[in-house]
Structure 1
Amino acid sequence: MDAEIRPHVGVGPFRFGMSVEEARAAVAGRCPFRTVSCDEEPGQIVLRQDDFEMDVVLGFTKGALSGVELVRFRNEDADVRVLLDGLDVFRTPSEDLFQQLAERGHTIEENDLGFDVLPELKVILANRSSHEYPVDEEGDPLSYDYVLVADQI
């Protein structure tokens, strides 16, 4: 499964501005995720893909999709790629991804909290997890494990 991040548009079948009903229909259709939690008039819908152990959070503002959060799969054998500008966000080492995005002309703002922001794309990348993901020799995560794609940052 590939989930393509389309800055200013959305992720996979989820498009900014779509209604809660349209998002639910996308999940019920070809989307391999199930709804984990959702309020009647949601501020967010939490989705889970059980085989990959991956989560997606759809955020809504005034009934319209305004952000998509992707949390890296915990099953390392998962047949899933989350792509940004053709690069696999969750499998490419974060230092390499950072450099490759910069080489493609994207501005990246780092901060001490572990969030890297691509302001013109309205994308945030982070290593924020407490899960057991692959790490380097110093124990730092090799790859990003969280992405936020939003209509505003």
Structure 2
Amino acid sequence: MNISVDPPDRVGPIALGMSVEQADDALRRIDGLQAEDGPREPLHGQANYASGLSIHTHFGPGSLVNAIEVFRPRADVSVLLHGFDIFGLPAQEVVERIGEFAELEEEERGCSFIAPELLVALWRPFVSTTEEDEQGYYFQSVLVARPGYYD
């Protein structure tokens, strides 16, 4: 399964500006929703999937989605930005690819990168140059936000 990151508007079926209920409905449309996040239980903007994928929506004024954060799946899901898998490629390669079409600001000594004009942020807990340290070698989350979110 593929989930597209389409800044500054959406991630998969979840769009910025949705209400809590609309966001929950969109999260339910993604295959593999875990049983504890059942079809009738309110998700409150957070869902976990069998693939290890986790998606959290953040709400701002008017209880509308102002940011969508996606956490790296273990398997079976590609999270695509401009056609490449941001969790399947090493973080350094993701930075290089995004740098071809957007300016990136490095923060936290390379643990976090923000593309202000895309309103996208990438994060990992530490920096590693070896694939054995998976959490530092690959990004662990991507966040898409509304204009003004970082102000």
Corresponding residue pairs, total? 139
Name the CA distance, whole Å, in 2 between partners of 1:84 and 1:10. Answer: 11
Task: Report the alpha carbon displacement of residue 26 of structure 1 after superposing the two structures with TM.
Answer: 1.9
Counterpart in the other structure of 1:108: 104
Name the CA distance, whole Å, in 2 between partners of 1:117 and 1:95. Answer: 14
Q: Does 1:52 align with 2:85?
A: no
Counterpart in the other structure of 2:143: 148
Unaligned runs of 5+ residues in structure 2 are none
Counterpart in the other structure of 2:14: 14
Q: Which one is further off, 106-115 or 118-127?
A: 106-115
Name the CA distance, whole Å, in 1 between partners of 2:132 and 2:21. Answer: 45
Q: Percent identity?
A: 29
Task: Report the alpha carbon displacement of residue 112 of structure 1 after superposing the two structures with TM.
Answer: 2.5
TM, length-normalised to structure 2: 0.80
Name the CA distance, whole Å, in 2 between partners of 1:23 and 1:82. Answer: 18
Task: Report the alpha carbon displacement of residue 138 of structure 1 after superposing the two structures with TM.
Answer: 8.2
Unaligned runs of 5+ residues in structure 1 are none
Task: Report the alpha carbon displacement of residue 27 of structure 1 after superposing the two structures with TM.
Answer: 2.9
Task: Write out aligned runs for 1:3-152 (5 A).
Answer: 3-28=3-28, 30-32=29-31, 33-34=33-34, 35=37, 45-49=45-49, 51-61=50-60, 62-73=62-73, 75=74, 78-103=75-100, 105-113=101-109, 114-128=111-125, 136=130, 139=133, 141-151=136-146, 152=149
Structure 1 residue identity aligned to 2:63: G
Name the CA distance, whole Å, in 2 between partners of 1:122 and 1:70. Answer: 14
Name the CA distance, whole Å, in 2 between partners of 1:115 and 1:2. Answer: 23
Relative to structure 1, is the Cα distance of residues 145 and 137 closer, same or farther in structure 2, using a 3 angstrom cutoff? closer
Give runs of ≥4 in structure 1 deviating > 3 Å. Answer: 137-140
Q: Is the 8 A contact 2:131 2:137 kept in 1?
A: no
